[in-house]
A and B are shown apart, each in its own frame.
Chain A
Amino acid sequence: MAEGTLSPVEERARASVERAPLVAPGRTRGWISDYVSSIVEAKTPRWWWVAISITGTLLLVLIACTTYLVATGVGVWGNNHPVGWAWDITNFVFWIGIGHAGTLISAILFLTRQKWRTSINRAAEAMTLFAVICAAIYPTMHVGRVWMSWFLIPVPNANGIWQNFRSPLMWDAFAVLTYFLVSVLFWYTGLIPDLATLRDRATTKVRKFFYGILALGWRGGNRQWRHYEMAYLLLAGLSTPLVLSVHSVVSFDFAASVIPGWHTTIFPPYFVAGAIFGGFAMVLTILIPARAVYRPLGDLITVSHIDKMCKVLLFTGSIVGYAYLMEMFMAWYSGNPFERATFWYRATGPYWWAYALMILCNVAVPQLLWFRFFRTHVIWVFVIAMFANVGMWFERFVIVATSLTRDFLPSSWGMFHPTWVDIAMFAGTFGLFGTLFLLFIRFLPMICMFEVKAVLPSANPDSGGKL
């Protein structure tokens, strides 16, 4: 075919293989610094006060409930025999799962050179940290005597005993703690150059002082950048297996047991996929409103970004669906009557509605994302992400509750009913999460400015280096 006489179909095809720009055209480095910093520097908007008073109230509820729980005992939860792990562990796994997207975006997408991550990684990493904090509350409370939880840390003590390092719960303590600490380091390392921006723009003494301290005296010379880039790469390289390991270890809590419905070998990758799924859903849940409030952010977090995140959502949702299928199939294929009964009970027992919700939200609804229409209309994306959030909570609930309510012996069967403390604490963790996030967008740059500047077309002086 001669050039210049392209058919309309071919024309459209050409257009659709064009890469969408990562930052809307016309946005310069200066604009990025000015706009992103201005979010932090401007007078606190009214909606922020409204929002934080809501989340703060919920946070107070959490504090009150936690105090009540510590003072009274774990019995104020609905946990019982046989359901010793209930909403607490469900919520723990739910939050820790949400805490996976941030590091995934920062680390894995960094290693795979997915440059679109730059606009969303900061907020996602912050979300990770806050979610892990929310998650950590539950196992800490669940140990019962909270003041004894230091027993999880291997230090020499007057009891002459040591932790059982072969226990999945111990692995969990190590994994979650490591994950939190490494994520903090990773997040802070990424913040340093942006904190320097805020420092350099600061006009008040208080700002100069605090941002000056936090920026550590960053100057942005090549002598610093070259080590900085290496350190960032290394931290990304370390975080990648770490992020996979954390939810795998969480899955070991269940899968290393012999309880039907828990003991299944696909749990580690399945949990990881679920965590990424839930985490991305939460990132979308937060960023879409943020884009709506701060409209120019739409030039940095473009529809193309949302589209890509939706593809991740679709992919991981499908992996989760695959895992549901495999669990069901293998339960049947195993020929083990307990396995078969457990899964039959899951789908048809008194908790069938939770199972149905889980399938609907995690597998069925995300299939809409096969269509570009749903991926590029933020309202739809928001709705689907909400479904995913709900679905992932129910997934954890289905796993925890259905396997425990039915023991091997019918005489020890029982149901779970949440108490008001269960419900209020769960709501309260959203308050904690929201409060921390609101504080974050108020005081720290929510877009990684220097990385976005680096993906602007003008930033890359092409240099040689071919073989």
Chain B
Amino acid sequence: MSLRPDQKFDYRHVGYGFLAACALSALAFFGLLIGAILDVRQFAFSYLFAFVFFFTISLGALFWVIVHHAVDAEWSVVMRRQLENSACLFSALAVLFIPLVFVAPDLWAWMDPANAGNPVLQEKAAYLNRPFFWGRTLVYFAVFIGSAYLLRAYSVAQDASGSVRCTIYNRRVAFASIVPLALCVTFAAVDWLMSLDWHWFSTIWGVYLFAGAALSSLCVLVLVVTALRSVGYFKGLITEEHYHILGKLLLAFTIFWAYIGFSQYMLIWYANIPEETSYFILRNTGSWNVLSILLVVGHFVVPFLLLLPSLGKRRPGFLCGVAGWILAMHLLDVYLMVLPELHRTGFRPSILDLLAVLAIGSTLVAVFLKALGDSALYPIRDPRLQQSIDLQN
């Protein structure tokens, strides 16, 4: 079945953008390689930071697709394909994870044999050991990739066949994915981020990472949808009603992120137990503190106040601005998770931070653009498509 022009992405719109993204990616990776030779620890931390940032976006997209199917949602049908496309970046992310394998002991100090005698570490050795760690990482990617691909595959299959069964299958995949996804996100957060400092622990950590992921992936969705609209797609399909809902969800998840972040910070601050406060003392000292305060203001106060009135939520341009701002703040959030563990004395920006973001980012953009044209821009034969288009708030 052939797609109408308004259903299929035309590469003319990006012009040489695809090639530019590839070229930028190659250049940035070359720069990173040099950087890694000069300062391998800086490279390791910068790369993890960039990786986690993009990982959370894909993760959030996968979460939204699963939620869509699990709750049998209506309004999000027209934009679900873009979420599916973002979620499918996991396979690329799995490849992009490989550099971390080579620098692992520089990153995760518990892998360093020099620390093997540490009594705290010995207590945790049953979990924090290399074979188990890499095994878990494989499982995470298997779950993420498997779930994302199945969901997208059935969805695309429906474009061709129009079979409602695909919807049912996807619902089943979504239900089956929820529990593994929740566990994988949590333990990935523990493995990749929390274990950067093996002394520290916090039960809410997985939820915190998830909150940022769900929020930032919505921001990406807003930007992607608006970009596609600006070149003429989704005319009459995605209306200001959809933006209104997206705006409301942005507001809700801004609050959710703040709620989780506050819960974690306040409880650790209040109880003041040394092995827990270390995390925040590091981030609340000196120049890191400036960034921490910026995070609170920028990641919560500013978007909260901007999204509170109902007017802005219905304006695509405004919403894009807010989405871009939140994404920048999410970048800062991830930065503050990772980099203070390297520069314990204070904020020391490195060109590698930027290069890593560029390298992974442009690679993913290229992969995303490729996926964009592979299928229709929205699930054209979804049984709920018409209701989604007719959305009324």
A–B interface present (Cβ within 8 A): yes
Interface residue ranges, A against B (CB under 8 Å): 1, 9-10, 13-14, 16-17, 111, 113, 168, 241, 244, 248, 252, 255-258, 263-269, 318, 322-323, 326-327, 330, 332-336, 370, 465-467
Expressed in whole angstroms, the minimum distance between the Cβ of B118 and any Cβ of chain A is 10
Question: Is B273 positioned at the interface, with any CB of A under 8 Å from its CB?
Answer: yes
User: Total number of A-B contacts with CB less than 8 angstroms?
Assistant: 104
Smallest CB-CB separation from B382: which chain A residue? Answer: A17
* Binary contact track B361-393/A, C-beta < 8 Å → 1, others 0: 000000000000000000000011000000011
Given contacts A16-B168, A255-B267, A258-B273, contact A10 B259 (CB under 8 A): no
Please measure, in the bound complex, the distance between the C-alpha atom of A267 and the C-alpha atom of B175, giving whole angstroms: 25
A265 near B263 (CB under 8 angstroms)?
yes
Expressed in whole angstroms, the minimum distance between the Cβ of B276 and any Cβ of chain A is 8
Expressed in whole angstroms, the minimum distance between the Cβ of B141 and any Cβ of chain A is 21
Please measure, in the bound complex, the distance between the C-alpha atom of A111 and the C-alpha atom of B271, giving whole angstroms: 35
Please measure, in the bound complex, the distance between the C-alpha atom of A323 and the C-alpha atom of B267, giving whole angstroms: 16
Given contacts A256-B267, A269-B204, A467-B241, contact A13 B168 (CB under 8 A): yes
Interface stretch of the complex, out of B87-95, B96-104, B120-128, B129-137 = B120-128
A334 near B201 (CB under 8 angstroms)?
yes
Expressed in whole angstroms, the minimum distance between the Cβ of B266 and any Cβ of chain A is 8
The 8 A-B residue pairs whose C-beta atoms are closest, nearest first, are: A266-B203, A467-B239, A335-B123, A265-B204, A13-B164, A268-B263, A266-B204, A256-B270
Expressed in whole angstroms, the minimum distance between the Cβ of A405 and any Cβ of chain B is 21
Given contacts A10-B165, A330-B203, A370-B175, contact A248 B275 (CB under 8 A): no
Please measure, in the bound complex, the distance between the C-alpha atom of A326 and the C-alpha atom of B201, giving whole angstroms: 11
Which among B165, B182, B263, B267 has the greatest number of chain A C-beta atoms within 10 A? B267
Which residues does chain B contribute within 8 Å of A256, judged by CB atoms?
A: 266-267, 270-271
Expressed in whole angstroms, the minimum distance between the Cβ of A297 and any Cβ of chain B is 25
Identify which of B178, B179, B203, B393 contacts A326 (C-beta below 8 A).
Answer: B203
Given contacts A256-B267, A268-B259, contact A17 B275 (CB under 8 A): no
**What class of interface size applies to chain B in its complex with A?**
35 or more
Within 8 A of A (CB), among B202-221: 202-207
A335 near B120 (CB under 8 angstroms)?
yes
Please measure, in the bound complex, the distance between the C-alpha atom of A257 and the C-alpha atom of B273, giving whole angstroms: 10
Identify which of A10, A16, A265, A318 contacts B202 (C-beta below 8 A).
Answer: A265
A263 near B273 (CB under 8 angstroms)?
yes
Given contacts A265-B267, A268-B263, A466-B241, contact A1 B162 (CB under 8 A): yes
B236 near A466 (CB under 8 angstroms)?
yes
B168 near A263 (CB under 8 angstroms)?
no
Please measure, in the bound complex, the distance between the C-alpha atom of A286 and the C-alpha atom of B164, giving whole angstroms: 37
Expressed in whole angstroms, the minimum distance between the Cβ of B98 and any Cβ of chain A is 27
Question: Is B278 positioned at the interface, with any CB of A under 8 Å from its CB?
Answer: no
Which residues does chain B contribute within 8 Å of A257, judged by CB atoms?
A: 271
Which residues does chain A contribute within 8 Å of B197, judged by CB atoms?
A: none
B163 near A10 (CB under 8 angstroms)?
yes
Question: Is B190 positioned at the interface, with any CB of A under 8 Å from its CB?
Answer: yes
Question: Is B186 positioned at the interface, with any CB of A under 8 Å from its CB?
Answer: yes
Please measure, in the bound complex, the distance between the C-alpha atom of A318 and the C-alpha atom of B182, giving whole angstroms: 10
Which residues does chain A contribute within 8 Å of B270, judged by CB atoms?
A: 168, 252, 256
* Binary contact track B180-191/A, C-beta < 8 Å → 1, others 0: 001100100010
**A–B pairs, 25, beta carbons within 8 Å:** A9-B165, A10-B163, A14-B164, A17-B72, A111-B248, A241-B255, A252-B267, A255-B267, A257-B271, A258-B272, A263-B267, A264-B267, A265-B204, A265-B264, A265-B267, A267-B203, A267-B267, A269-B207, A269-B259, A318-B178, A330-B203, A332-B127, A335-B120, A466-B236, A467-B241
Within 8 A of A (CB), among B247-282: 248, 255, 259-260, 263-264, 266-268, 270-273, 275
A13 near B392 (CB under 8 angstroms)?
no
Given contacts A252-B267, A256-B271, A466-B241, contact A333 B207 (CB under 8 A): no
Given contacts A1-B161, A1-B162, A318-B179, contact A327 B167 (CB under 8 A): no
B383 near A330 (CB under 8 angstroms)?
no
Please measure, in the bound complex, the distance between the C-alpha atom of A326 and the C-alpha atom of B204, giving whole angstroms: 8
Expressed in whole angstroms, the minimum distance between the Cβ of B154 and any Cβ of chain A is 12
Which residues does chain B contribute within 8 Å of A244, judged by CB atoms?
A: 259
Please measure, in the bound complex, the distance between the C-alpha atom of A449 and the C-alpha atom of B321, giving whole angstroms: 42
Please measure, in the bound complex, the distance between the C-alpha atom of A266 and the C-alpha atom of B267, giving whole angstroms: 9
Given contacts A1-B161, A13-B164, contact A264 B239 (CB under 8 A): no
Identify which of B165, B167, B182, B271 contacts A263 (C-beta below 8 A).
Answer: B271
Smallest CB-CB separation from B195: which chain A residue? Answer: A333
Which residues does chain B contribute within 8 Å of A258, judged by CB atoms?
A: 271-273
Which residues does chain A contribute within 8 Å of B383, judged by CB atoms?
A: 14, 17
Please measure, in the bound complex, the distance between the C-alpha atom of A370 and the C-alpha atom of B178, giving whole angstroms: 12
Which residues does chain A contribute within 8 Å of B341, judged by CB atoms?
A: none
Smallest CB-CB separation from B264: which chain A residue? Answer: A265
Please measure, in the bound complex, the distance between the C-alpha atom of A399 and the C-alpha atom of B15, giving whole angstroms: 61
Expressed in whole angstroms, the minimum distance between the Cβ of A132 and any Cβ of chain B is 21
Expressed in whole angstroms, the minimum distance between the Cβ of A443 and any Cβ of chain B is 36
Which residues does chain A contribute within 8 Å of B168, judged by CB atoms?
A: 13, 16-17
Which residues does chain B contribute within 8 Å of A336, judged by CB atoms?
A: 275
Question: Is B240 positioned at the interface, with any CB of A under 8 Å from its CB?
Answer: yes
Expressed in whole angstroms, the minimum distance between the Cβ of B123 and any Cβ of chain A is 4
Given contacts A14-B383, A335-B123, contact A467 B271 (CB under 8 A): no
Which residues does chain A contribute within 8 Å of B248, judged by CB atoms?
A: 111
Please measure, in the bound complex, the distance between the C-alpha atom of A248 and the C-alpha atom of B258, giving whole angstroms: 13
Please measure, in the bound complex, the distance between the C-alpha atom of A327 and the C-alpha atom of B167, giving whole angstroms: 36
Expressed in whole angstroms, the minimum distance between the Cβ of A359 and any Cβ of chain B is 16
Smallest CB-CB separation from A14: which chain B residue? Answer: B164
Identify which of A16, A168, A335, A465 contacts B124 (C-beta below 8 A).
Answer: A335
Which residues does chain A contribute within 8 Å of B239, judged by CB atoms?
A: 466-467
Please measure, in the bound complex, the distance between the C-alpha atom of A323 and the C-alpha atom of B186, giving whole angstroms: 11
Which residues does chain A contribute within 8 Å of B241, judged by CB atoms?
A: 465-467
